[in-house]
Every structure is written in C-alpha cells, then in structure tokens.
Amino acid sequence: MTDPHESSAPLAYLAASEVMDQFADGSLRSLALVDVLYERMDAIDAPDTPVALRSIAAREQHARATAAERDEQRAHGVVLGPLHGLPVVIKDNVEAVGLPGAAGSTALLGRPARDAPLVARLRAAGAVIVASTNLSQWANIRSERSTSGWSATGGLVANPWALDRSAGGSSSGSGAALAAGLAPLAIGTETDGSIVCPASLNGVVGLKPTVGVVPATHVVPISASQDSPGPMGRTVADVARLFAVLSGTAPAESAPVRVAVAANWRTGHAATDDRFDEVVTALAAAGVAVTFRDVPQPGPEQGEDELAVLLAELVDDLSAYLADRPGAGVASLAEVVEYEDRYRAREQPYFGHDLFLQALATGGRAGTAYAAARARNLAWARETCLGPALEGVDVLLAPAYGPAWKSDLVVGGHPGPTSGATTPAAIAGWPIASVPIGFVHGLPIGAAIIGRPNAEWQILEVAAQLEAGVSVGFDRHRPGFTGPTRG
C-alpha cells in the first residue's frame, strides 16, 4: 500500500524547519497545515479506516482557532517564539486543557486536565497543540504480558512501516504519528525505553532528557527517579528546536565530541548489528574521535532492583497524582485496581494488571526492599556501568533496537531485539537519544546515544552527525503502510 492520503503528503512530511520557512515566506499558513493533518487523521488513523493506525487519542478542541490566531499574529509581525504556528502532538499521559490526559485508561476519562508546565512552555513558544497520542496504557507498567501500544481508550497502535508490527512503547502513538505524517513534532515520556523504543521502531528521532530537565508536573507518573518527558521529531534539528523550548536551554559553543562505542552491547539481530557497525565506521571516517570499549550489561539482578524501585515509586507517585488530579474518580493505585476489576471486559480484555498488584504489595518507598534496591541500582548504573564507560569521552554509542516485532494481543510480550542501552541510562536518570541509522528488510532501526547529566546538546550533535552520514530523509523514504489492513 502506498501512502493512502498521497495528496497531503508533500505538506504532511515537511520537517518543522521547512514548515517555519513556509510560514515566514507566506506560502503556508498554520490553519491550512492543521486542516491537512486532520484530514490525514480522518483518512488513515481512525479505527474505521483501512489503515486504522490508532496513533491519535483525541484532538485538541481549540486547535483550529489557535492556528488561525497564530496566522493573524504573524500577519501583524508578532512571533511568539520558535514554535510559532507549529502543530505538536502530545502523549496522552500529559495533561493539557482540551485533551483527556487519560494515560489510555477509561478511569481518567472526563477528569478535568490542566496545562502541564511543559505544555505551557509549548504554548508560550507559539505551538499549536493539535492532538494527544495513544500509548501503552499507564505507560506500560501494568503487566508483564502487556502488548506495547495497546490501551483501553485507543486500541492498538500500528507501525506505519508494517501495520502488523509494533510501534513500540510506551510513546507508541507519538512515534507512529510522526512517521505517518500526522504531525511534525511530538512529545513522549520515558521511564525506561519509552521514547527510544518507539523512535527506533518508527524511524524517527527521540530524546529522553536528564531526569528533571523537563518538568514532569501534571504528567501521569510511574517513577520520580526515572520519568522524563522529551521531544520527538523526524529530524535531529526538529528535536533540538523542541528540546530548547521544553528545557529552556540552548547549545553551548560547538566543540568536537568524543565518542565511545559499547562494543559488546549488541541487539543479537545480525543485520541490525552489522548496519550499526557500518555507521560507526562511517562516523570515524568522517573525523569523529571514536574508541571502543566493553561496557557492563544489565543482568537479572539489575532488572529485579529496577523493577522493585519502579513498583515502589509507582504506589506513592501515582496515588499522589490521582489524589491531586481535579474531578471525581480514582484517587489511588488501589482504586485503579478496583476500577479495572469492576470493568474487566473493557480494561483487561487481553492482559491483567499483575504489576499493579505487585506494586501495592511493596509498601511504597517505606517498604523494606526499596532503599537497598535503589542504592544498588544507582551504584551499578553510575559507578559500575556508565561512569567508566564515559571516562575520557562525551557520549556512548550502541545499537538501540532491532526491527519492529509483530504485535500479538493474544500472547502479549515485548520487546524484540534490543541492546539494553536504555536501562543503565534510565536507572541513572541520564539522557539518551535514538536516531535512525537505516532499514532492515524495509523496517527502520536506530542507534542509541547516552551522555552524562545535562549532555543533551552533545548527544544531539552526535545524532546530527549520524543523521548526515546515513542520509535517512523521510521526505524521500516514507512508510508504505504495508501489511494487513486493520479497518
């Protein structure tokens, strides 16, 4: 299947920088672009369409009026900021006035939403919030048998490159919407892999900033120590533009970035690992200082400690968030469990909430296991793994994920081939990005780039060098929406 809405593709796949150029010269208006994007959503995203991408959770009810206002402001010489008139989609666990902010759960539908601070920053910079994106329900902390990209409110997100394959998670809809030409910019969130995974699988760029750099207030939480909202886009420059607004930072004066490659971090998928090696060779040939070193990999002990930390923090953080959320409804994790059991057919048709039950049993941060698990986890991630790996260099490079695996609601489970690069960065709270490095059997793959705290601009510089070397341009290579139709 070719692009099922080809007439809109030339506008839909413009990079944000190209959109801004056309806004500036008067050849494109924000309202016209928003209308094009909504027409594409009607054509390919809704459940009753042949593609049924299901990447969009809801449309922002004032988006067209906001876009018209941005056009009028620009006509009078007023530009609010670097995102003036640009359409942006945000993950459904981020609160924004005019959107549900439901985290994929019917338990939160109808609860009033506030503008999260990150959304306020977007609006202040002139962005037009056009929609929220579907996700793995509750950001994929609900069950060990979950299927990435499924939620009770939105169904299963498809991968635009192959509709029967996973869009990753938990920022599934954000990655798929970007790849499908439904928005030039998107917001995701990551606790461990939830931006990097969908970025890699959908062939887009994603950055999980250092924890705390982008405020997570009014974002449905999992873990205060690991949660981080971040920017996603089709190009590195677009992600940099969005990150500057979200973080309130700007790049320092450019300097050569030293790169270490985690030589033993492999996905196990031969074609992916071979392609990554080719990209590293090209990077070194372009004059980038590249060294190779073996880096400790997370094992069962680190995984168990991380899960213990996440579940304990989930009890405290999600319950506090729900109690503070305006409107009547569930006010704690225990009440979410009771609600989901009451409406089991709707909330648990394919898998349950075994991780929620485990979380309730932890006793939260006051439980007996939390403090020791967190201390061990941090010591391993920062002192044993990433500290030595980054000694004498600026960033660490590894393959991210192999090509997208097939979604399976019956059997469940996730993910497919991965190097595990997201886990040390997640535990440490350090930044990580994914940038496309090519295709394997027509499916995109990405490279992961890790840096020290607040090294986002160095990471983006290396990402731009990889992007330039690979020359993956999504105005030239667009997803084909292949595979079984889903309407």
Active-site residue (options: 172, 174, 194, 319): 194
Q: What Cα–Cα distance (Å) separates residue 310 from each residue in 340, 341, 385, 465?
A: 20, 22, 20, 34
- Catalytic status, residue 17: no
Q: How many CA atoms lie within 13 A of 37 on its CB side?
A: 34
**Phi then psi dihedrals of residue 89, to 5 deg:** -110, 150
Residue 444 · residue 411 · CB < 8 Å: no
From CA 397, how far away is CA 386, in angstroms rounded? 12
Residue in this structure with the two tokens 């004059």, named with its chain if needed: 287
**Annotated catalytic residue 30:** no
How far, in Å, CA of 442 to CA of 465, rounded? Answer: 23
Catalytic residue selected from 8, 30, 55, 91 = 91
In 310-442, which ranges are E strands? Answer: 395-399, 432-440
Which residue among 132, 170, 228, 319 is the active-site one?
Answer: 170
Active site annotation includes 194: yes
Beta strands in 15-94 (DSSP E): 56-59, 87-91
- 96 neighbors 132 (Cβ within 8 angstroms): yes
Burial (0-12, 13-18, 19+ Cβ within 10 Å), 155: middle
DSSP string, 108-161: GTT------HHHHHHHHTT-EEEEEE--SGGGG-S-TT--TTEETTTEEPEETT
Q: Euclidean distance between the first and final Cα of the chain, in Å?
A: 14
Length of the chain: 487
CA dist 387 → 91, 258, 336, 450, 459 (Å): 32, 15, 39, 11, 16
Check residue 6 and report its DSSP letter.
G
Q: Tell me the catalytic residues.
A: 91, 170, 194
